[in-house]
Amino acid sequence: MKTNTTTASTNVLLPMSGRVAVVTGASSGIGAATALELARRGAKVVASARRRPEIESLVAQIKSEGLEATAIVADVNVEKEVIDLVSATIKTYGHLDIAFNNAGTEGEFTPFVDQSNQVYDTIFNANVRGVFWSMKHEARAMLAQGSGTIINNASMGGVIGFGNAALYIASKHAVLGLTKTA
């Protein structure tokens, strides 16, 4: 008996059909790869980041594969933009099922004693406050609809430490704490 591998493969890759997913930090790297994979698995994807050209290019790639995606420019450092991102997602697709909070920054890798308050603010605003605001507003929408999944990307930095990255590591440990508590 011959198996139709295309059909079998398609069935395996579409477990998220009808789901709506927001991916922050979707302009490159893990965020872009996650947005693409969610779309390939059947989700309607809202790709979000600060850099419009990159997320528009990603959405064009997703659409070129016959999949559904929308680009929304938002900076997780600005709570109003996070609120607007969640609202626009619900206005566009009617609900929010999955949120992948990936936006963040590494900051500067320098000795601990040379880290500045400005670098601290930059890292903690994006990596901790941005995740907090994202979770807060995504969770409100998901609680109102009765379901949803939030995934926060903390990196290996959330469970280990390494030299010259004290602020980055501390911020990723904080992401794990927020995630565990929520």
Q: Kind and range of the H or E element at 145?
A: helix 130-145
Pick the closest to residue 71 from 22, 30, 108 (CA basis): 22
CA dihedral 112→174→102→34, nearest 10 degrees, is 110
Strands (E), the chain: 20-24, 44-49, 69-73, 98-101, 149-152
Amino acid identity, position 179 = T
What separation in angstroms does the CA of 45 have from each of 13, 25, 42, 122, 140? 15, 13, 9, 27, 19
Active site residue: 39, 100, 168, 171, which one? 168
**93 assigned to active site:** no
CA 129/CA 123 separation, integer angstroms: 9
Short-list 80, 71, 95, CA closest to 144: 95
- Which residues are catalytic, by number? 168
